[in-house]
Amino acid sequence: MEEKKVAVVGAGLVGSLFAVLLAKKGMEVDVFERRPDLRKAKEIGGRSINLALSNRGFKALELAGFAQEIRDISIPMYGRKMHDVEGNLTYQAYGKDNEAIYSVSRGELNRRLMNLADDYENVKYRFDRFCEDINLKENKIEFINEVSKDKEHYAYDHIFGADGAFSAVRGVLQKTPMFNYSQEYLAHGYKELSFPPNEDGTHRFDKNCLHIWPRGEFMMIALPNLDGSFTVTLFFPHKGETSFESLDTEEKVMDFFKATFPDAVPHMPTLVEDYFANPTSNLVTVRCSPWNYEDKVLLLGDASHAVVPFYGQGLNSGLEDCSVFFEMYEKYNGNVKEFFEAFSEQRVPDGNAIADLALYNYIEMRDLAGDKDFLLRKKIERKFSDLYPNKWMPLYSQVTFSHIRYSEALAAGNRQRKIMDEVMEMENIHECWDDQKVIDKILTLV
Amino acid sequence: MEEKKVAVVGAGLVGSLFAVLLAKKGMEVDVFERRPDLRKAKEIGGRSINLALSNRGFKALELAGFAQEIRDISIPMYGRKMHDVEGNLTYQAYGKDNEAIYSVSRGELNRRLMNLADDYENVKYRFDRFCEDINLKENKIEFINEVSKDKEHYAYDHIFGADGAFSAVRGVLQKTPMFNYSQEYLAHGYKELSFPPNEDGTHRFDKNCLHIWPRGEFMMIALPNLDGSFTVTLFFPHKGETSFESLDTEEKVMDFFKATFPDAVPHMPTLVEDYFANPTSNLVTVRCSPWNYEDKVLLLGDASHAVVPFYGQGLNSGLEDCSVFFEMYEKYNGNVKEFFEAFSEQRVPDGNAIADLALYNYIEMRDLAGDKDFLLRKKIERKFSDLYPNKWMPLYSQVTFSHIRYSEALAAGNRQRKIMDEVMEMENIHECWDDQKVIDKILTLV
């Protein structure tokens, strides 16, 4: 594929990193983006979207020699801190020792990846270009220039669709025969709120944790930012008795928050303003198969697998697409069609697996994370895993800290759950959980 | 909704019948169709698509006073006749006495429905119109006139999308928030073949049956036509060792058919020509939710629920959309948004149920229909149902001969399957199946 001319549609995190990696292979890369250059745009007031980078994401950044720079602008979170209605805190480490997930600003990460890509002479960004259509026979792509309103046509050897959950490139593939596709919305949405920094610039809660207020049917979470603030997100039903729809006055919002998140409210001086000013967003899962059209088009990131955010793997899985792509790249030197097909065949089940895991984790976070049985399960798992690390890696660690395929992690997680179901059936397990017989039981089952 | 101006997109079977029923309520109805008027088109040589109408379809035709006219051009099929590799025949009645499904020509049915609609002054067909976009705020719809290439704009009170599995109207809804959608292709496709009439114009096999050649991983079926021919359909894997892809020479096709369908081959004088001339088509399941956009747009038929053809319910379920629409119509007089929402809420689970039933029935037809255990199951079910008709209606009868909601039929069918699983576990069931103890056993379980 060297010396080829390729297009990357979408200048987001996956698109920009992928452009860098293609450029490193010597390809001519045009990156098209529907929006204006975000480096020239003003900050969007009141919203500071952040996300959690973990090992899969860093591995791909490492390929670009960029992992350390990003680590430097991130805040490690070593565990979850659960806040109950009385304000009691429970802590649960994510992994061992120094294993952490890293809170980072989406905007800042994107800006830095774009600057990195700009350093390559063979990468060219074209902003304000809306992908209107692709001629799949000739691999010509048509854009509308959102500034001049002109139509523009380009031809490429390969087109990479990294244009997100509502991908225009995927929209073209959806009309081709045998393309399987689904988009499924949760009945819950989310709204971003904020804990501003203390007056001295420090964080209002422990900054090295992801904070969760699990409330059964819904939850609130908070991730730290470098400036001392937290980005707070309420995940909540769209409709129903207690929902975004029902909380429609300032009084109802304040009453609800005071009753439901009493330890958080004192740290939310702009709660009511934020609640009504910030949009309510949707949560969608997108799956498709195959991810390629012959050797012409390949989808990456949210364009091929948009997942709900509850495993913190949306971006990580998209960045892993990039690293897996270049791992497989050498093997198929020359035969791009076979390569794209093999890539799709390998990644589709992994995309589906992380979609399933993310959906499941919403239940775990909002519901189980506040549950005694659940916490004991995790404690027993952790103990067994410490004693027999080769026999048991907790599912969360497989997903977050390893590079085991998501589909294999999901299968292993299902086996583990069945084993732990049996363990939790043991008599007086809440009293005897630390006894040797519990370990022995697991040893017979693994 | 009387005196309103509405659009029906799609002049197929569902669109044309629906236009008639809207016109009967006094509405002004424009019917848009992408293709030219099929009544003016030449017959497509070598293909005579037919389908099986049953009670749900006839109920909707009855609303238009049109059921008898269609019965008169249909051939009743009272059961399945299975052909094994040795040419042995097994017969299985679909229902009781005169219960039948009706083989009818798709083209002829469509032509007659269009003529019926044309009799209404308040129905106007506009052919060669490709639906390009819908402005959902103002309910304006844009078409490309395929003849003049001009863009045309129209405004309606309500727009009904009856434009099939690849619905352009649904394509617009797919981009709205919270619209759930999936399209899923089977790994199997189909190809139409033919048994021409005998020289004296009679049918080569019993015309009052649906003929099946179940072969485990695939199957062939034949439905009778009025002219003495049968339309034959091979359902078969696209790829793999034995597949459309692998049967790529005349010799391979003949060898395969002679070995696999020996009793059919003598009746297929144009087998090889047909095999290579006729297209290989795909089998897709489409689901979505909701089926409406406010009071602006409503999807019907394949546009909202395209199913695989193995239960013979694709058209019937689309026509049932029409009859359910007009059953609910009176209740919501005036409040169209509430009506559309209630219609969607009721029909989505039924659309999903018939999609699931149709997928399952492929396995039953190709695999189980040739299986001794399966045939015994059906015999026991039939006996019990004859003795206790109020306690047991076979699933096939619920789906085909009743108006029980598909979702309820599916649930009842699952309960029945569990009961029959237990019955088939009885000792020597193949010998004692006709004994009273079998009936007693079922009585304890229902």
Q: Which residue of B has its CA nearest to A189?
A: B178
Burial class (CB within 10 angstroms; exposed 0-12, middle 13-18, buried 19+) of B391: exposed
Q: Does residue A66 sit in helix, strand or coil?
A: coil
* Main-chain phi, psi angles of A51, to 5 degrees: -150, 170
- Residue A46's pLDDT is 45
Q: Which residues pair with B366 in a beta bridge?
A: none
Q: How would residue B319 be classed by pLDDT, with cut points 50, 70 and 90? A: very high
Q: Which residue has the tokens 């981009």?
A: B175
Q: How far apart are CA A418 and CA A439, in angstroms?
A: 15
What are the CA-CA distances from residue A424 to residues A229, A380, A439 (Å)?
40, 10, 12
- The one-letter amino acid code at A185 reads Y
Give the contacts of A136 (CB within 8 A, at least 6 positions apart): A172, A176, A293, A294, A296, A297
Q: Which residues pair with A231 in a beta bridge?
A: A194, A223
Sheet holding A151-155, edge to edge: A129-135, A140-145, A151-155
Q: How would residue B209 be classed by pLDDT, with cut points 50, 70 and 90? A: very high
Q: Residue B322: enclosing H or E segment and its boundaries? A: helix B314-329
Q: Which residues pair with A126 in a beta bridge?
A: A32
Q: How would residue B46 be classed by pLDDT, with cut points 50, 70 and 90? A: very low
Q: How far apart are CA A249 and CA B87, in angstroms?
A: 75
- Residue B224's pLDDT is 97
- The one-letter amino acid code at A11 reads A
> Alpha helices of B84-239 — where are they, by DSSP H?
106-118, 168-173
Q: What is the mean pLDDT of residues B403-429?
A: 96
Q: Residue B45: how many CB atoms within 10 A of its CB?
A: 7
Q: How would residue B364 be classed by pLDDT, with cut points 50, 70 and 90? A: confident
Tell me which DSSP letter residue A3 carries: T
What percent of chain B lies above the pLDDT cut of 70? 98
Residue ranges, chain A, pLDDT below 70: 1-2, 43-48, 369-370
Angle between helical axes of B13-24 and B314-329 (0-180°, round to 10): 20
Report ipTM for this prediction: 0.90
Spell out which residues of chain A touch residue B345, defining contact as CB-CB under 8 Å.
Answer: none
Q: How far apart are CA B364 and CA B407, in angstroms?
A: 19
Burial class (CB within 10 angstroms; exposed 0-12, middle 13-18, buried 19+) of B225: buried
Q: How far apart are CA B421 and CA B240, in angstroms?
A: 33
Choose among A188, A211, A212: nearest CA to A281: A188
Q: How far apart are CA A56 and CA B2, in angstroms?
A: 60
Q: Both tokens of residue B275? A: 């095999």
- Residue B97's pLDDT is 84
Structural domains in chain B, sorted by start: 5-74+103-182+284-361 (3.50.50.60), 184-282 (no CATH), 371-445 (no CATH)
Of B177, B184, B238, the CB nearest to A282: B177
- Residue B326's pLDDT is 96
Q: What is the mean pLDDT of residues B71-91?
A: 95
pLDDT tens-place string over residues B216-243: 999 999 999 999 999 999 999 999 999 9
pLDDT tens-place string over residues B250-266: 999 999 999 999 999 99
Tell me which DSSP letter residue B44 carries: P
pLDDT tops 70 at residue B47: no
> Alpha helices of B188-313 — where are they, by DSSP H?
250-260, 271-277
- Please judge whether A181 and B182 are an interchain contact, meaning their C-beta atoms are less than 8 angstroms apart: yes
- Residue B50's pLDDT is 87
Q: How would residue B368 be classed by pLDDT, with cut points 50, 70 and 90? A: confident
pLDDT tops 90 at residue B396: yes
User: Does A179 contact B at CB distance below 8 Å?
Assistant: yes
Spell out which residues of chain B touch residue A282, defining contact as CB-CB under 8 Å.
Answer: 177-178
Q: How far apart are CA A265 and CA A276, in angstroms?
A: 16
User: Does A182 contact B at CB distance below 8 Å?
Assistant: yes
Q: How would residue B45 be classed by pLDDT, with cut points 50, 70 and 90? A: very low
pLDDT tens-place string over residues B145-185: 999 999 999 999 999 999 999 999 999 999 999 999 999 99
Contact A250, A207 (CB under 8 A): no
User: Does A106 contact B at CB distance below 8 Å?
Assistant: no
Choose among A235, A275, A219, A211: nearest CA to A46: A275
- Please judge whether A282 and B181 are an interchain contact, meaning their C-beta atoms are less than 8 angstroms apart: no
- Please judge whether B184 and A185 are an interchain contact, meaning their C-beta atoms are less than 8 angstroms apart: no
- Residue A48's pLDDT is 63
Sheet holding B101-105, edge to edge: B50-53, B101-105, B75-77
Q: How far apart are CA A441 and CA A424, in angstroms?
A: 11
* Main-chain phi, psi angles of A399, to 5 degrees: -70, -40
- The one-letter amino acid code at B117 reads A
- Please judge whether B183 and A179 are an interchain contact, meaning their C-beta atoms are less than 8 angstroms apart: yes
pLDDT tens-place string over residues B159-170: 999 999 999 999
Q: Residue B148: how many CB atoms within 10 A of its CB?
A: 9
Residue B316's Cβ-side half-sphere holds a number of Cα atoms within 13 Å equal to 30
Q: Both tokens of residue B43? A: 């017959």
- The one-letter amino acid code at A119 reads D
- Residue A2's pLDDT is 64
Pairing of the two strands A219-224 and A209-214: antiparallel
Q: What is the mean pLDDT of chain B?
A: 95
Give the contacts of A53 (CB within 8 A, at least 6 positions apart): A61, A70, A74, A101, A102, A104, A109, A315, A316
Q: What is the mean pLDDT of residues B396-400?
A: 96
Q: Which of B178, B238, B243, B286 to mutate to test the interface with A (most CBs of A within 10 A)?
A: B178
- Please judge whether A182 and B179 are an interchain contact, meaning their C-beta atoms are less than 8 angstroms apart: no
User: Does A174 contact B at CB distance below 8 Å?
Assistant: yes
Pairing of the two strands A79-83 and A209-214: parallel
- Helices and strands in chain A, H and E counts: 14, 20
- Residue B114's pLDDT is 97
